[in-house]
Amino acid sequence: MEALQGIFRWAHVVAGITWIGLLYFFNFVNSAFAPTMDGETKKKVVPELMPRALYWFRWGAAYTWITGVLLVLLVFYHGDLMFDDLDATWTPVAIGMVVLSFVGVFVYDLLAKTVMKPINVAFWGGLALTAVVLFLYQFAGFGFRAMAIHLGALFGTNMAFNVWFRIWPAQQRIITATKNGEAPNADDVALAGLRSRHNTYMSVPLVFLMLNAHMTWLPGGPIGLVVVVALGWAATYWLYGKAAQVKGF
């Protein structure tokens, strides 16, 4: 089990670096660079660059998610690290909250299409829902480490879903239109851009959750983790502002 954990951690980090590195390239570099290209340049560059970048992007997401699930199975479920109380056992509520961590993506997707489509509403609404989920984890008896890792699993599942089922299909149509010298469908551009932005916001607190699931120092339990998510999203907002200020020669 120790050997498997070591291998899965290694693969998880390598895949995650590949995925999130490209996510930041798209959002902090390419988003400012792409509008500077004229139509003919886009017609040449986009069909050559984007399929290559999106290949590593989507498979990095897939292997990050797969190895992450395997690590949760090994470390938390097999390793009995779900509950701080040594006498605690699995209850229907605890099982339900684990399931929610992986199927909550469908609730997120519905909200992202409707009431939480504006980015400011997604920010505050997402923060409120994060608080609710964390307090439900606590109610289910999860320890701090379990709360952190399962919130990370919820964010990571949302992000991987966005990559494969929202961003990649839209980008395929955008690339094809650009290659043919046509204007991409505005809805595809908006969808890919919005979900990529959501992923960028979720990624910053996600890194904290993955690293600090191995510690118990954060005070306040659910409240402390909500503060971390808020700080992560505020930092991401600042990064977007900084990226817009970086200019080419």
**C-alpha distance from residue 105 to each of 83, 109, 190 (Å):** 24, 6, 20
* Residues of the chain above pLDDT 70, percent: 98
**pLDDT, tens digit, 9 for 90 and up, residues 131-183:** 999 999 999 999 999 999 999 999 999 999 999 999 999 999 999 999 999 99
pLDDT score of 212? 76
- Is residue 52 over pLDDT 90? yes
**pLDDT, tens digit, 9 for 90 and up, residues 210-226:** 887 666 667 778 999 99
Write phi, then psi, for 142 (nearest 5 degrees). -60, 140
Q: Break the chain into its structural domains and give their ranges.
A: 2-245
| C-alpha dihedral sign at 186, 191, 194, 196 | negative
- Is residue 1 over pLDDT 90? no
- Contact 228/205 with Cβ under 8 angstroms? yes
- Is residue 120 over pLDDT 70? yes
Cα–Cα distance between 64 and 16 in angstroms, integer?
5
Q: Is residue 221 classed exposed, middle or buried when 0-12, 13-18 and 19+ CB atoms within 10 A define those classes?
A: middle
**The tokens of 174 are what?**
């955008």
What mean pLDDT is reported for the chain?
94
Cα–Cα distance between 78 and 72 in angstroms, integer?
9
- Contact 158/105 with Cβ under 8 angstroms? yes
Mean pLDDT (whole number) for 7-22: 97
